[in-house]
A and B are shown apart, each in its own frame.
Chain A
Amino acid sequence: KAGVTQTPRYLIKTRGQQVTLSCSPISGHRSVSWYQQTPGQGLQFLFEYFSETQRNKGNFPGRFSGRQFSNSRSEMNVSTLELGDSALYLCASRVTQNDEQFFGPGTRLTVL
C-alpha cells in the first residue's frame, strides 16, 4: 500500500507570495492533519480535516488555511509569506480521527 505522498518536496518562494502544498493520504484514510516543523518551534499542529471538514485547528494566523477534497486529498495554503514560514510541512493521514497517524516525507518550504 502506498504511503502518504506530499508534493512538491522542495519549494522556494519570496516574501509576500503565496504557496499551496498538496497531500495525498493513504488509500482509505479519511483524516488528514498538517504540522509545521521548525528548528525553533519544533513540531506544531496546524489543522486536521476529516470528511472535507476542518475538525481541529492549531494556533496559527489566518494566513494558514487548508481544505480537503472528496477523495480525501488535502491542500494547505499560506498567503503573504513571511521569512518565519520557512519550515518542513508534514502531512499525516489516518483512517478515522481515533487511529494512528502515518506521516508523509514533508515539503521543505524556504522563504527568501
Chain B
Amino acid sequence: AQSVTQLDSQVPVFEEAPVELRCNYSSSVSVYLFWYVQYPNQGLQLLLKYLSGSTLVKGINGFEAEFNKSQTSFHLRKPSVHISDTAEYFCAVSRSGSARQLTFGSGTQLTVLP
C-alpha cells in the first residue's frame, strides 16, 4: 500500500514570492506521483505528473516538481505566485505500471496575499 504526507496544511505567501509545497510518500513498490489543484467548488485539475525519466517535471501554470527517490519526496514549486494560485493542492501516488487507484495526501491550502 502507498501513503502520502503533505507536511503543511496551510501555506500563506505574498504575491510574486516563491513557494514550495512539500510532499513525502511511502511505498514498497515503484510509484507514479501527481499534483492536483482544487479551486473552490470545483473538481481536481492535474498540475503535473511523474511517471519515469527526468526527475524534474514541469507542469501547467508555471509549476514544477522534483522527484527525489532517496528522500521519497515530490515537492511542488513555483518561482513567483499570483493571487489566482490561491487554491488547495493535493499530492497523490499510485503504484507504477498502472495508474488505477490514487492515494491522496491531506492537502495544502495555498493562500497568496496581495
Chain A residues in the interface with B (C-beta under 8 A): 4, 33, 35, 42-45, 48, 55-56, 58, 90, 92, 94, 97-106
Contacts and interface: CB of A to CB of B under 8 A. Distances in A.
Interface string B3-42: 0000000000000000000000000000000001000011
Give chain A's interface secondary structure class. Answer: strand
Interface stretch (B61-69, B74-82, B94-102): B94-102
A103 B106 contact: no
Given A33-B102, A43-B90, A101-B102, 17 more contacts: A42-B104, A42-B105, A42-B106, A43-B92, A43-B102, A43-B107, A45-B102, A55-B100, A56-B101, A58-B101, A90-B43, A94-B99, A97-B99, A98-B99, A99-B99, A100-B49, A104-B43
B46 A100 contact: yes
B45 interface: yes
- Say which size band chain B's interface belongs to: 20 to 34
Contacts of A100: 46, 49, 99
